[in-house]
């Protein structure tokens, strides 16, 4: 919460609030309330008494550009400042998720240590907490903000997913639209380190850090060494690809329960000649396991952070394709 209330003169009755983490140390601080002192980030609101009634505390954070933060008490703007979450990492936004920490304590050097801490008691009652975002969710197939590992960051279009945590943990992200029948085509563009993979997954599969795409029956993953994985086993080997710059194309036939993949827009499907692997004529194809024959969506696996973070951009709309879908296949959107 970053609010400290002075206990001088009695607990919770001084009508004085100290914004512990921001204000004097931030750039471009603008005081919007005469009761807020910029230098010591102290607010002495004459009507603010947390011992008599609930009060509302609000943070508005804009991550675009340089980043700004505004703070409100009981709906009144107290101050604003230039601020970027996780600025210690360069202000990239690729650190831990923003969070709210609330505690109740007594003592400390501001405004002074109490004589006997054991004589001070108090209750901290929290009635509600809410989180809102201004990001509009685009229509059509996108990467699903609510169906991703915690170490994946989505951009403003929800089409590019990027690995953001500095570890070697596998992270997965799933598409927002699923299909149980029909023939579907999409492309992905890869960038980043040597461990990145892309494939398809089922939307009802559990997403959590540490499970790679292809680890379970409900996911199928194609990796840069050509390996095609399902249920922690190698299904087959397709073409290898460069995870730092490759464009992969997928053809998913849920009527015939098969999938094909190719590297580039003119590469061979499933790394074989068209006479042996052809989605348009239902020739060849990798058979889908039973757990991947309904409610299926695009999915991706990200792992490496260095030398550059793994990222994957989904190309789901027909007007954005660089390649030509096989005859009879529609955009997965």
d(CA 195, CA 304) in angstroms, rounded, equals: 6
d(CA 272, CA 284) in angstroms, rounded, equals: 9
> Which residues face 59 on adjacent strands?
71
SS3 115: coil
- Terminal CA-to-CA distance of the chain, rounded, Å? 41
Q: Is the dihedral of CA 185, 191, 196, 201 positive or negative?
A: negative
143-331 is classed in which CATH architecture? Sandwich (2.60)
Residue with tokens 């801490």: 117
Domain residue ranges in the chain: 1-134, 143-331
Measuring CA to CA, which residue among 214, 150, 196, 222 is closest to residue 306?
196
Q: Are the C-beta atoms of residues 20 and 3 closer than 8 Å to each other?
A: yes
**Tally of CB atoms within 10 A around 144:** 22
Spell out the per-residue pLDDT of the chain, length 333, in tens.
455 555 544 444 444 565 554 545 566 777 667 777 666 666 666 566 666 777 788 888 777 767 777 877 777 777 777 776 665 554 444 445 556 666 666 666 555 566 666 666 667 788 888 887 766 788 899 998 878 887 788 988 999 999 876 667 788 899 999 999 999 999 999 988 777 777 888 766 666 556 789 988 889 999 999 999 999 999 999 999 998 889 999 999 999 999 999 999 999 999 999 999 999 999 999 999 998 999 999 999 988 766 778 899 999 999 999 999 999 999 998
pTM confidence score: 0.65
């Amino acid at each position: 919460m970053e609010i400290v209330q002075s206990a001088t003169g009695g607990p919770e009755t001084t009508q004085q609030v100290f914004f512990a983490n921001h204000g004097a140390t931030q750039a471009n601080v603008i005081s919007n309330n005469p009761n807020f002192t910029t230098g010591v980030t102290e607010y002495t609101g004459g009507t603010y008494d947390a011992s008599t009634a609930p009060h509302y505390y609000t943070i508005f954070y804009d991550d675009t550009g340089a980043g700004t933060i505004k703070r409100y008490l009981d709906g009144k703007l107290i101050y604003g400042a230039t601020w970027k979450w996780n600025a210690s990492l360069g202000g990239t936004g690729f650190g831990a998720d923003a969070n709210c920490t609330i505690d109740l304590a007594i003592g400390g050097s501001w405004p002074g240590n109490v004589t006997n801490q054991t004589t001070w008691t108090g209750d901290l009652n929290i009635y509600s907490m809410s989180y809102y975002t201004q990001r509009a969710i685009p229509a059509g197939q996108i990467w699903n903000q609510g169906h991703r590992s915690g170490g994946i960051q989505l951009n403003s279009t929800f089409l590019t997913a990027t690995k953001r945590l500095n570890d070697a943990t596998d992270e997965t992200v799933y598409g927002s639209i699923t299909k149980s029948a029909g023939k579907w085509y999409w492309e992905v563009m890869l960038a980043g380190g040597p461990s990145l993979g892309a494939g398809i997954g089922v939307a009802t599969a559990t997403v959590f850090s540490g499970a790679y795409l292809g680890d379970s029956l409900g996911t199928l993953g194609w990796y840069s060494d050509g390996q095609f994985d399902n249920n922690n086993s190698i299904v087959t080997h397709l073409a290898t690809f460069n995870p730092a710059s490759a464009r992969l194309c997928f053809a998913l036939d849920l009527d015939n329960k098969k999938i094909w993949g190719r590297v580039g827009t003119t590469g061979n499907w499933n790394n074989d000649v068209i006479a042996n692997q052809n989605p348009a004529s239902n020739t060849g194809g990798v058979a889908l396991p039973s757990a991947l024959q309904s409610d299926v969506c695009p999915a991706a696996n990200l792992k490496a952070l260095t030398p550059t973070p793994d990222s994957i951009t989904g190309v789901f709309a027909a007007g954005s394709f660089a390649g030509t879908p096989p005859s009879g296949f529609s955009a997965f959107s």
